[in-house]
Amino acid sequence: MKIIKEILSWVIPIIVGLVVALLIRQYVFTFARVDGPSMEPNLVNKERLIVWRHAKVKHLSVIVFDAHGEDPTATKPKTDYVKRVIGLPGDTVSSKNGNLYVNGKVVPQKFISMSERTTGTGNWNLKSLSKSWDKNTNATKVPKGEYFVLGDHRSVSNDGRYWGFVPKNKITGVAKTFFWETNKTKRTNVNSLGY
């Protein structure tokens, strides 16, 4: 009996700790990793992120979402993408000469250089982009419950311009960098730009 009590005195705290850790990871935050160059210069390949599951998604928030079923090239379930939110539900979005417009107003893009804003981006609006999408063809606004996302390194990013919108239920959460991972400017560009 004494041996069982001693074993339980070790096992029960371990089990409780594991359950608490799993609940926190499931409902509060989790971790993600950047895969590829699409968020350069602010996030680099293999950079680790903390993802807050219930943080409010705002314009310019960096989010993590499951691209499976949205991007036709994401063939495996739980294919996480890291992108920046440009359009919220109901927004109109367009690009002209490297400037982004949301609801007719210029979006400040100090988080990337002029070259990153203009190289390979072209002039477009949601209606012109949506003609080649599998879903939401002829969209003029971001649909209710969905978001329009772009990568920061626009010339190499596989993002909403090519396949459409991200449904809210596919979003894992809002990504933040760790303070030791990068410099202050990049942390600000990822952690503090939402409006």
Top-confidence residue, 19 or 34: 34
Per-residue pLDDT band for 185 (boundaries 50, 70, 90) equals confident
Which residue reads 């998604």 in tokens?
A: 57
**Residue percentage of the chain with pLDDT more than 90:** 66
Q: pLDDT tens digits for 42-54? A: 999 999 999 999 8
What's this model's pTM, rounded to 2 decimal places?
Answer: 0.88
Concatenating the DSSP letter of every residue in 81-149 gives: EEEEEEE-TT--EEEETTEEEETTEEPP-TTS-HHHHHTTT-SEEHHHHHTT-SSSTT--SPPTTEEEE
Output the average pLDDT for the chain.
89
Mean pLDDT score, 94-122: 90
Report the distance separating Cα 14 and Cα 36, nearest Å.
37
pLDDT at 147: 98
Q: What is the pLDDT of residue 44?
A: 93
* More confidently predicted of 119 and 175: 175
The pLDDT of residue 17 is above 80:
no
Q: What is the pLDDT of residues 111-130, one digit of tens each?
A: 998 888 888 788 999 999 99
Taken in order of first residue, the domains within the chain and their CATH numbers are 30-191 (2.10.109.10)
Q: What is the pLDDT of residue 4?
A: 76
Long-range Cβ contacts of 70-78 (<8 Å, 24+ apart): 70/163, 70/164, 70/165, 70/166, 70/167, 70/170, 71/158, 71/162, 71/163, 72/134, 72/163, 73/158
Q: Which residues of 90-127 are buried (b: 16+ CB within 10 A; e: fewer)?
A: ebbbbbeebebbbeeeebebebbeeebbbeebeeeebe
Tell whether the model's pLDDT for residue 173 goes beyond 80: yes
**pLDDT digit string, tens, across residues 129-171:** 999 999 999 999 999 999 999 999 998 999 999 999 999 999 9
- Residues serving a catalytic function are 38, 83
**What is the band of 68 on the pLDDT scale with cuts at 50, 70, 90?**
very high
